[in-house]
Structure 1
Amino acid sequence: MSHQTPEELRRSAEKEWEVLRERLHQAPLKPKERMALPQQEMPAQDPRERRCNMEEVALGYTEEQARIEAERCLQCPTAPCIAGCPVAIDIPRFIGEITRGDYQAALEVIRETSLLPSICGRVCPQEVQCQAPCTVGKALKDPFASVSIGRLERFVADRAAGSSRAPRVQPDTGRRVAIIGSGPASITAAADIRREGHAVTIFEAFHKPGGVLVYGIPEFRLPKRIVQDELATLEAMGVSIVPNFLVGRTRTLKQLLEEDGFDAVFIGSGAGLPKFMHIEGENLVGVFSANEFLTRSNLMKAYNRDEAATPIFDAPVVAVLGGGNVAMDAARTAVRLGAREVHLFYRRTRAEMPARAEEVDHAEEEGVIFHFLRSPTRILGDQDDRVQAIEVLEYELGEPDESGRRRPVAVPGSEYTVPVNAVIVSIGNDSNPLLTATTPELETNRWGNIVADETGKTSMDRVFAGGDIVLGAATVILAMGQGRSAARSINAMLAEDRER
């Protein structure tokens, strides 16, 4: 489909809204009429322009688009969309406020359970969460035709930017809680714990807070000013954020509890240890983990070559290995850094890719070249140990594996080489072992993730955990859901302490 400019989408929506508004004055829409309304396309930068800049790709709904999209909601009594949301936002209620034109009220509904609407509206995979059980999508037999809940969430958050109030905080309880890490699970836990009047301190290993929201997700998908605004809300609530503090080195977990006077600890340090393929040539110059590549670009602004002191590898032809959102981010960042060609290799088909369909579409529009049913067997170097090519093996799909996806089966003798100058490995992350290595009391599983029950309780007294450190690499909203569960447990435990 050809790219429609934001101006074309705006004019089209204005005409549609004018007709719809007249119809709404006559009588409420019937369900069939609501399902007949056109889903509103997200305005976006032209692919030819955006591949040369770091500005946000998706530009957000206009007011008319948001009003039309909100009218598509059937306001189902059973609200299956809420059950699909890991933090249980009252989705029909906030969409109902949009239909009445009260965007501040819509935002307040979201903020009852989520402190990060601007972020979640941009990066959460709504198509497999809240939008998956949407009645509209079910009726139209297309999950991508569901009500665009995430886009509406972003609309109300952006519309009210700068005008929202920090959540109310209960009187001081005298209790202190330490939060390790400052990503989405930690931000959510910190907000919910602070609401109850407990003092909260976030310890962040990097020089900037935000976790994966800052170092992992590119500017063109999540502008960092938005993350800073959300963190400013936390600070306005009275949460203290301490950067450059590596728990396990600066202080141990036991010291926080036994010497520094904290009554509970929440660990939300994420999964930041990159996995590699363990193939020949991974030590060559020009091979990077997606973590390092994206951290240099996102956190250290290495893409701004005229001002940033942090170097980043300059390669005309780049290979990206993997099929998730991080792989899409790495490939699209390589395009913006000036690579002439970016090739992405994935050993299954597009249908099995874990990346969001929208991100794959955007990558294709920006010129990323996809090689499905392909995986490298080795990386080849020149006489100076610099990457010069990868050897690739072809695959075909066999029977489903434990994930339900069809297992890739190698085709013997199908190897061939592709000339490249850099390789970015994006096949997932494990948990950094530093914290658990210095805290043997914490039980971990065979992947190094901290073991926690459904309430976030770990094997160590007064220590809770959630997010990627428990789940492995997951989504922002799933991490937030775990942060919320752990916060409930911590608040309940501290309330019991006060009653004794």
Structure 2
Amino acid sequence: MKEMEYLQIGRNQPWRESLRKNMKNKERLQLARTKMPERDPDVRSRNYQEVNLGLTYEQALAESHRCLDCVNPTCISGCPVGINIPKFIKNIERGEILEAAKTLKETSVLPAVCGRVCPQERQCESQCFYTQKLKKEPLAIGYLERFAADYERESGEVSLPEVAPSNGLKVAVVGSGPAGLAFAADMVKAGYRVTVFEALHELGGVLRYGIPEFRLPNDIVEVEIESLRKMGVEFVTNCIVGKTISQEDLREEKFKGLFIGSGAGLPNFMNIPGENLIGVMSCNEYLTRVNLMQAIDPESDTPVYKGKKVAVIGGGNTAMDAVRTARRLGAETAMIVYRRSEQEMPARLEEIKHAKEEGVVFLTLHNPLRYEGDERGRVQRMLLQRMELGQPDGSGRCRPVPVEGDTAWIEVDEVIVSVGVSPNPLIPQSFSGLEVTPRGTVVVNAETMQTGEESIFAGGDIVRGGATVILAMGDGRKAAKTMDDFLKIKA
């Protein structure tokens, strides 16, 4: 059932209210977790249509009935932005879907985005009573969040959070990714004049250039950003803070506070022989060119090579996005090369599942040693080292160690390296008062997100060095709260 179809279902059917009131927890415990409808793998691996189709109205109601009304709802503690999860789910159970969406927007500026890409299984759902006490599948909180947000959008009755009267103070935001958007939302709600500066020509940061449309459609991101515009946030694109506009320019324009949420767009490489060959590129470049610069169009100014034998090095969500993109661009063999086992992969289980369904080959416990090219300088093959798991390292995962003498050559014509990212050093180098770590991340007070320069706050990947959308949003909200407190004192 499509989204508009469930809007036609009556919202006050008497059977629903009767079921809600009479269902006991012992009956709720017998309900199975609802499965998300998906497109057929053979079809979806050849197009960019969204893979997950969303819950139908009936499926959402059925899943909402699994909520146990916990006295101590630990699911909230697992949410980095503090969504009142029981409240929005109980609104769905009562058939008040628009009220559920309003509840989400009390604390989350991007509910339709988070319902699609957040790792709920490691956050709110991991704290669900079903998981913690019963060792059963948790309530599908992410599915229900997406449902409520999509329902509201399709209804045409999109609500906006309440905005306080202007206090006349101006604050600036560097970057329109999830950290910057979350910060901007809370500050504009508190009455500040907020301007977001974005270096690229499109808004959304990693939501636009880093996540393919088959996982997060662009129109979803645009609707969420449009709500911020309507709330009063101003956006300036094609503006590189530190180049186009300086720290002194911001002072002269009377900005009283600055939040840096510029992400981590500087790719890491392995520094092995052959990484300079044609056809070896970073995952950031690959996804940015495809997602933001229409590189799949042969007439594009920056067309991307469509490899037939593509290897993606890494095991995170970004690696899964890249390898699944390669399949959609016609790769006959698309493989993940990861030095640990599948159990250690940081990617979401759903993304691994989808990749396998779409024909991706997983070469776990392998690590590239070198690449070799043909006479034209294009990558032709890679030498892989077989690995085994040793003792746990500082991350708690077992350290991969080489199996001596066990190597093999594999043919490839494109290699996409996804082994981490670092912040761009431009802003730390251009702004006074900022301390950076050896990894290039900006040092902040973890409780306040405040830097060494008292009027400058930072959060998201420029502080964490690469994390999830929802953690970045959590940083943005924390920074907004503490900057608001700071500016009130200064005033």
TM-score (norm 2): 0.95
1:302, CA displacement in angstroms? 2.0
Q: Distance in 1 between matches of 2:346 and 2:20?
A: 45
- Residues 138 and 233 (structure 1 numbering): CA distance in 2 closer, same or farther, change over 3 Å? same
The answer to which of 436-445 and 116-125 deviates more is 436-445
Match runs of 1:259-270 below 5 Å? 259-270=252-263
Amino acid at match of 1:289: S
CA distance in 2, matches of 1:285, 1:228: 35
1:42-74 deviations in whole A, cap 9, x for unaligned? 011100000010010001000110001111111
How far, CA to CA, are the matches of 2:15 and 2:320 in structure 1?
39
Compute the displacement of 1:496 (Å): 2.0
Q: Which stretches in structure 1 are left out of the alignment for 5+ residues?
A: 1-5
Matched, 1:353 2:353: no
2:380 corresponds to which letter in structure 1? Q
- Structure 2 residue 360 is matched with structure 1 residue 368: yes
Q: Could you say which residue in structure 2 is the equivalent of 1:75? A: 69
Root-mean-square deviation (CA, aligned residues, Å) is: 1.9
Q: 3-state DSSP class of the match of 1:188?
A: helix
Q: Secondary structure at the match of 1:370?
A: strand
> Which residue number in structure 2 is paired with residue 438 of structure 1?
430
Look up the match of 1:274. 267
Match of 2:46 in 1: 52
Note the 1:330-479 alignment, pairs <5 A.
Answer: 330-453=322-445, 454-479=447-472
**Within the alignment, does 1:496 sit opposite 2:474 as a pair?**
no
Q: What do residues 105-156 of structure 1 show as CA deviations (whole Å, max 9, x unaligned)?
A: 10111111001000000000000000001001234424xx100000000000
> Once the 2 structures are TM-superposed, how far is the Cα of residue 255 of structure 1 from its aligned partner?
3.0
Aligned-residue offset at 1:77: 1.1
Answer yes or no: is the 8 Å Cα contact 1:185–1:483 preserved in 2. yes
Is 1:484 the counterpart of 2:484? The answer is no
Moved more, 407-416 or 157-166: 157-166
- Name the amino acid aligned to 2:319: A
Q: How do 1:78-477 residues align onto structure 2 when only pairs under 5 Å count?
A: 78-142=72-136, 145-161=137-153, 162-257=156-251, 259-305=252-298, 308-453=300-445, 454-477=447-470
Q: Is the 8 A contact 1:73 1:136 kept in 2?
A: no
Partners of 2:55 and 2:250 in 1: CA distance: 45
C-alpha distance in 1 between matches for 2:85 and 2:20 = 26
**Matched residues in 1 for 2:263 and 2:250: separation?**
19
Q: Match for residue 66 of structure 1? A: 60
CA distance in 2, matches of 1:31, 1:416: 56
Distance 1:23 1:273 in 2: 53
SS at match of 1:266: strand
Q: Distance in 2 between matches of 1:237 and 1:420?
A: 49
Kindly provide the amino acid, as one letter, of the partner of residue 388 in structure 1.
Q
Aligned residues of 1:254 and 1:439 also touching (Cα < 8 A): no
Q: How far 1:22 sits from its partner (Å)?
A: 7.8
User: Any gaps of 5 or more consecutive residues in structure 2?
Assistant: none
1: CA distance between counterparts of 2:416 and 2:168? 48
Structure 1 ranges of 4+ moved more than 4 A: 20-24
Structure 1 residue identity aligned to 2:316: G
Q: Is the 8 A contact 2:274 2:373 kept in 1?
A: yes
Single out whichever of 367-376 and 309-318 deviates more from structure 2. Answer: 309-318
Residue type of the alignment partner of 2:287:
L
1:21 CA drift (Å):
5.3
Is the deviation greater in 419-428 or in 431-440? 431-440
The 2-side partners of 1:470 and 1:23 are apart by 47
**What number of residue pairs does the alignment pair up?**
481
Normalising by the residue count of structure 1, what TM-score does the alignment of the two structures yield? 0.93
Q: Could you report, residue by residue, the CA deviation over 1:72-115 in whole angstroms, capped at 9, with x for unpaired residues?
A: 11111110000000011000110000100000110111111001
Whole-Å separation in 2 of the counterparts to 1:395 and 1:489: 46
